[in-house]
Structure 1
């Protein structure tokens, strides 16, 4: 299946990172729809290590504020939803269910903490990218952020768990009057090789 021009524009060429958001609330069903799309993106051995927390209440958002770097405070404050994308360092406990063709692969990670950490981080990062594309597909704008104190976010939202924060993503409806000018991208010839 090939996407038409309008779909490609919505997902890629016309989509923009949102710097500020309108005060329009995000309907809770959109967060569920977003997840129901993103969960189908591929991960290694169908590991699915991403864990999400959608911060919508004033209390939850207030708990996030001390962890944000100054440059992200205004974006986060204006967004009706902040997604905390984390990764489960013991994702492998679920491999017998999620990868039943080779349930023994759980052992590969139980016995190798480095491999588990790398796999969890890499695949949850991919799932975070799927979240962005899924959010765009359901009509939301995104403002991904890495400017925050991971340890503070982990303490505020994942204390006592095996989950670590990866990145944050503001979600809502962009205030396009606050958009930055469109930045350049590399051309194919600058960064790609065909061997």
Structure 2
């Protein structure tokens, strides 16, 4: 069965796209990242809450602060990437709901008056948005190196000291460099991953 995307787009976004471990020194501009965001901001989220926040780590000082929380090889990879972003969930995302979800003006108080409910929903929905963000990076002709090997509690204290954002992913972004990709590991087949009930 054919897909709506042509084979070239399928390859760019999925089949040939891999996690990059090295990058060239070609810069990644604010305009490129804004174009990515403008493409992926339509990702589905509960009540259109849109809790994802993107922190662009550009300065050398901020990058060095970030890598103090890195595990293993993630530090050196981050120091040499053209751009690194911290993805986090805004725990006060519900404050935007009257504007973003006007069809149900009471949703803010009905569902998100408790911090635990906001954190659970915000993290889940921001993670969904993060998947779209990675595909958007690929659509821009860039490579993404997403990493969970970081001390996110430390990042939150370092960069979001007010406790209103909860980080969950760090992504290096740029044009892939020499030996950027490891050999592709196998994936589950459809029959292993899917069931019908």
| TM-score, normalised relative to structure 1 | 0.95
Shift of 1:159: 1.1
2:55 matched residue in structure 1: 53
**Could you list the runs of 5+ residues in structure 2 that have no partner in the other structure?**
none
Shift of 1:81: 0.7
Q: 1:23 aligns with which of 14, 22, 25?
A: 25
Structure 2: distance between partners of 1:79 and 1:146: 16
1:93 matched residue in structure 2: 95
Preserved CA contact (<8 Å) 1:56 1:81: yes
1:34 matched residue in structure 2: 36
Q: CA RMSD in A?
A: 1.4
Shift of 1:60: 1.7
Structure 2: distance between partners of 1:178 and 1:164: 29
Structure 2: distance between partners of 1:178 and 1:114: 39
**Could you list the runs of 5+ residues in structure 1 that have no partner in the other structure?**
none
Alignment of 1:136-155 (within 5 A): 136-155=138-157
Runs of 4+ in 1 over 4 A off after TM superposition: none
Distance 1:84 1:186, change over 3 A: same
**Bigger share in helix:** 1
1:16-47 CA distances to partner (integer Å, 9 max, x unpaired)?
11011111111221011111112111111100
Structure 2: distance between partners of 1:153 and 1:141: 23
Shift of 1:176: 4.5
2:184 matched residue in structure 1: 182
Distance 1:155 1:113, change over 3 A: closer
| TM-score, normalised relative to structure 2 | 0.94
Structure 2: distance between partners of 1:110 and 1:188: 37
Counting matched residue pairs gives: 195
1:81 matched residue in structure 2: 83
2:136 matched residue in structure 1: 134
Preserved CA contact (<8 Å) 1:92 1:109: no
